[in-house]
Amino acid sequence: MTKNNYDYEAAKLLIDDETNVTETNPLKDLFQTCIQLVLILALVYLFTFIGSGLVIKSLSIEKQIQMENILSSMINTETQDNNFDTKKIKDIRNRVLSVDRDFPKTSNLDIHIINDTQMNALCYPNGNIYITSELYKRLTDDEMLTFVIAHEMAHYKNKDHLMNLRKGISNASIIIFMSIVSPNNQEASKIIEGTLSLSDLKYSRSVEAKADLYAAKILNELYGRTTGGVQVLKILSGQDTGAPEVLSDHPDIQKRIEKLQN
């Protein structure tokens, strides 16, 4: 072997060695990038969630009521039905308040019946409660009506409306952040939005479960049983869509019934 051939072979080996040393793993790099992105998004979400919570908690009672009224005004109110026993509804509300003396005094807790063929009840951010006429006419005794009213009052007491506002702000911060750092990555944005939607549904189910628990405690205090709540849930099971629980904003009806029975 000549000297030139020797130099050529040595250089070739050196190049091959350097190539092997600098070789990278695309899957490893992708995994590391995903981990970094998840950590950054988690920090953005946490920072926004904590920050918005501190702002909300710093509000005076007057400012909180003003915010609640603004949020409530953004929700459409259906035509009201005045053909119901106003005195009985107010008496039940007052009985609940007599059991829970720690209930916040920032709302009048006005209760309305609205014309609607769906069986539903909801609590607005300002504490006003709305029960559809279809559900109201099926509440055949005071225990059942107490469960519905107490369940909705629990949403106000637990400040679910403000917590939903915090989650909305945090979710929006994630979406805005992604649109800035990766405006053309539509697939990643869809995955993140889908994940946030599933997270919102899970949170909503936990909120409903807590409201059930509160209403069950009220029934136990007033009637010594939770029969009225079980009856209400059995009625609502008639309009259950049968969708998987993971895609629902309410816990499975049968699971809710079992918890009340226990």
Distance CA 198, CA 246 (A): 7
CB 135 within 8 A of CB 125: no
* pLDDT at position 82: 67
Identify the CA nearest to 71 among candidates 9, 163, 1: 163
* pLDDT at position 18: 52
* pLDDT at position 145: 96
Is-above-0.85 flag for pTM?
no
Cα dihedral across residues 214, 216, 218, 220: positive or negative: negative
* Burial readout 137-148 (b: 16 or more C-beta within 10 A, e: otherwise): eebeeebbbbbb
Give the angle 52-58-60 at the CA atoms, nearest 5°. 130
* pLDDT at position 138: 93
* pLDDT at position 155: 94
* pLDDT at position 239: 73
Task: Give me the residue label for tokens 């099926």.
Answer: 138
* pLDDT at position 148: 97
Q: Beta-carbon neighbour count of residue 35 at 10 Å?
A: 10
Using only C-alpha atoms, what is the Rg of the chain?
A: 28
Distance CA 96, CA 171 (A): 35
CA 37 from chain center: how many Å?
24
Mean pLDDT per block of 10 residues along the chain (262 residues) reads: 56 53 68 80 84 80 81 72 81 95 86 90 90 92 96 93 85 84 77 84 92 96 95 86 75 89 83
The structure tokens listed for 20 are 């092997």
The structure tokens listed for 251 are 């816990």
Residue type (1 letter), 172: A
State the burial class of residue 199 (Cβ atoms within 10 Å of its Cβ: 0-12, 13-18, 19+): middle
* pLDDT at position 137: 92
